[in-house]
Each structure stands twice: as structure tokens, then as C-alpha cells.
A and B are shown apart, each in its own frame.
Chain A
């Protein structure tokens, strides 16, 4: 049984139909990448999984339990954690306060020291307010806020977007370490090379449809299938 099973979900913004019968599955310890052009529906998929958006139809199961229709807070407590595209760090709260909010309702939260080990930079900035952090630090904090809850599934939405190459390298290393530790991750990213370096499997999105499913190793060997959903970039 997969950790996450998504069966033919359809999601709309008002009257505009964005996701069409999206199905996917994620096994425990797997790193799955969702790839596709801008506007293909990747963020909408993650937001539907987290319960921020309610799919009009279809089924989502986490650990075999149906979670579609539940509020994000309930889904978070069931073990899923979204790291949103916009990072959504609380700017008026300190780094440590951001982490404390995150761990409030976690069943087995990490001790802060474990977070500081993974993110020494955040430890240095623990009393700084979120809004004073650099983009890379905000992204680290956003990921740290998810990790401290010790989720069974992490959804990363464009974690490397808009960051300097050196910081992207750090974050790629971090993601690889998380993958090696057996964390289950769904990652959306435009930086295909970076993502293929640590993903196990890939779903290709186009216009709200899943148009490709395959192994990352195959795409590393031959990028041709990506043309169908990444366009000229691939």
C-alpha cells in the first residue's frame, strides 16, 4: 500500500477547472517530483493534497485513511506537511517562534537542537524576526517548520526558486540528505537538473493533466519524454 494515493481528483478555482482526473501515488521513503510548465497545475495539486483547496471529486488517502475534504489542520495532524511556494514565514515572529508555532500540534516534534544541527544558520539567527531573513534563510525556516513536526510526507513547492546558485546547492544537498534518511517527499521544481539528481520517480503535468509517469533514472538517461510536458527547456 502506498503512503499517499490520489485517485482522479478534479479541482476548480470558482468556475475555472484546473485539475483534471489527477491520479498519483507515493510509496514510503520515495521522493517523487512533479514537473511541468508554469501554470500546469503543480501548485494546485499540492494545495489540494494539503486541504487548502477542496477537490470537487476524487479520493485522497494518506496511510489508507481518506483525507479529502478535511481542513488543512486535520491533514497536517494526519502527517502531511506543505512547504508552500511563497514560504509563508511569519515575518513578525522570530525564527524560534516560527518553529514553536509549528511544533505546537505535532505528535512527536523534533527538539529544537535537532533543527539547529540540520540548519546551523537558523540557530545563529534564532532571535531574528522572519522578515529580516534572506530568501535562502526563509526557505530553510519554511522547511525547518515542516521538519520539526516530523511529518510522514513533506510537500515541497519550488524550494529552490529565486535563490542564488550556492544556496540552491545547499538546499539540494539538504534534500538529498532528507531523502537518504528515508523521508517521503513530493517536490515541485522548475530546476529539473537539480530535482532529477535526487528524485526516484517523476510525474509530468500539462494543462492540469498528468501526461507522464516514469522513473527519474530513465529521464536522466534520456530527456526526450520530457519535451511533452517541459517544452523546449528539456
Chain B
């Protein structure tokens, strides 16, 4: 039996992992809901985000500048992907969309491997995040606490855009019925481009923020992608609140199970997903209308 302190510390790890999963899954689920495309390149883009942090950090020696530059790069990648490839697949069958996004993912990962090599890279913890913070009952790495705060702020920002702006209104309507949004005079193609780019920046940011905590490798996004697929199924396809709550639940399950035996963490995650799907096939927050 792990000690209480160890469990509490794992619960915080779960919060950090869960909030990152929430950010990754948010982009995935909004893209799926609005564009109808399941983006299998999402894991690769997570790694691309981490590598942009690595490169920008070496160039600027400032984590904040690295994040800003990284966002700009992810934005360009998102725009280019949607304009050059994805938009030509909206009307195509699901299999084609899966194949093309999966293919883009492979190309990106192999490009990273070709350029940076297969060995892992390290991104230093930002100067303002070095060390540990006393929380009274335990000591916890400062950057991980900040990570939770930053991701929470990003998710709150995403919430405000989705629920308090006209663009967000159009996105939420488009998740339910993009065709009807078009009939009401709104150019859905521009909305699609916006949604895709935001989703790509979100997953890229998750990769950048995670980079100082782990070894940066070309394949680092693979497990994140599988887990975030589970998250969006758990939360309800196309649901932003579902992705956030689902992400947090998944993060806690994985981390807390690891405190006992890490071999079982994914098993527990899939077990929970199965249970939820039996009780609520549409996921926690899913409805026929979604969101």
C-alpha cells in the first residue's frame, strides 16, 4: 500500500497529466465535432510542439518566448494542413480522412526523427519554475504546479472563446450541424479553418508545456493520442466540457493506478471507458445534439 503522501503526490501528477490530456482532447474533439474529421496526426503534432519548444528554447533561452514562437509555428502548420490537405477531404469517406491524417502523422514523426535523431532531447525547466514548492503536507516540483495553472488558464480561455464570443457561438452551432450554419449565411469553411488551427495550437502548446517534464522524442505523442481518444469517447464526441472532465478523470486514473502498479493504469482507463459506454453510450456529456 503506498503512503498517503505518495498518493497525494500522484494525485497532483494526475492533475498535471489530466489537464494536458484535457487540452489535447479539446482540440481533437472540437475538430471532430465541427469538421467531422478524426485527426490521427494529433499525437505527432504534440511531439512537433515539444520539439518547437526545444528549438525555440535554444534560440531564445526564454521559455515564454519559446511558447510564443512555438504557437506561431503551430498556427502556420495548422493553417497549412487545413488549406492544403484536410479541406479536400471533408466530403470524402471517413477511411480516407483517417488514412490521410494518419499519413501526415507518420511524415511528421519521421521528419522529426530524420532531423533531430532518435535520441531523446531535453528541454530545461524554465528559470521561474526550478525547484520545489512546500505545500505544507508535501513538497512538489514548482514547474508542475505552474503547468497545472497555465493549462487551466488556457482551458478557461478556450471556454471563454467558445461560450462568450460570436466565433464560439458559430463553432458550437457548427459542431451540431455545420450544414445548417451554412444555410444561415455563415461561411463554414472559414470557421473550419479557425477551428482546425486552434486545435493544432492547443495540442502543440500541450507538447511545449510538457517538454520540460519528460524526454522529448519523436514518438512521445503516441500514448497521448491513444489516451485522448479514450478521453473524447469518455466525455462524449464533440463535447468540450466532456473533453475537460474526461481528461481530468483519465489523468487521475492513470496516475493513481500507477501508485499501485503502473502496468494496470491503461487497463483501468479502458475499463472505465467500457463501464461508461455501457451506462451512457453517448459518453458523459454527449447527447444527440452534442456539446
Cα distance A145–B181 when bound, in Å? 11
B284 at the interface (CB under 8 A from A): no
Cα distance A105–B187 when bound, in Å? 9
The answer, among A84, A100, A104, A149, for a CB contact under 8 Å with B180, is A84
> Given the complex, which residues of A lie within 8 Å of B183, measured CB to CB?
50, 52, 72-73, 76, 81-82, 84, 88
Cβ of B186 and Cβ of A90 under 8 Å apart? no
The answer, among B170, B186, B287, for a CB contact under 8 Å with A91, is B287
Chain B: how many interface residues by the 8 Å CB criterion?
Answer: 23
Cβ of B173 and Cβ of A90 under 8 Å apart? yes
Cβ of A76 and Cβ of B184 under 8 Å apart? yes
The 10 tightest CB contacts between A and B, nearest first, are A91-B289, A76-B185, A105-B185, A92-B291, A88-B180, A72-B182, A92-B289, A131-B289, A90-B173, A101-B173
B42 at the interface (CB under 8 A from A): no
B-to-A contact residues, CB < 8 Å? 166, 169-170, 172-173, 175-177, 179-188, 287-291
Q: Could you list 18 examples of A-B contacts with CB < 8 Å?
A: A52-B179, A73-B183, A73-B184, A73-B185, A73-B187, A76-B185, A88-B180, A91-B288, A100-B169, A101-B184, A102-B184, A104-B184, A104-B186, A105-B184, A106-B185, A129-B289, A131-B288, A149-B185
Interface size of A as a range: 20 to 34
A180 at the interface (CB under 8 A from B): no
> Given the complex, which residues of B lie within 8 Å of A167, measured CB to CB?
none
> Given the complex, which residues of A lie within 8 Å of B188, measured CB to CB?
73
Cα distance A50–B182 when bound, in Å? 10
Listed residue (A50, A72, A88) with the most chain B CB atoms within 10 angstroms of its CB: A72
> Given the complex, which residues of A lie within 8 Å of B181, measured CB to CB?
101
Those of A73-103 within 8 Å (CB) of chain B? 73, 76-77, 81-82, 84, 88, 90-93, 97-98, 100-102
B274 CB to closest chain A CB, in angstroms? 26
Cα distance A88–B173 when bound, in Å? 10
B90 CB to closest chain A CB, in angstroms? 13
> Given A73-B186, A84-B180, A101-B181, A92 and B287 touching (CB < 8 A)?
yes
Cβ of B184 and Cβ of A145 under 8 Å apart? yes
Cβ of B182 and Cβ of A92 under 8 Å apart? no
A130 at the interface (CB under 8 A from B): yes
B169 CB to closest chain A CB, in angstroms? 6
A112 at the interface (CB under 8 A from B): no
B60 CB to closest chain A CB, in angstroms? 40
A234 at the interface (CB under 8 A from B): no
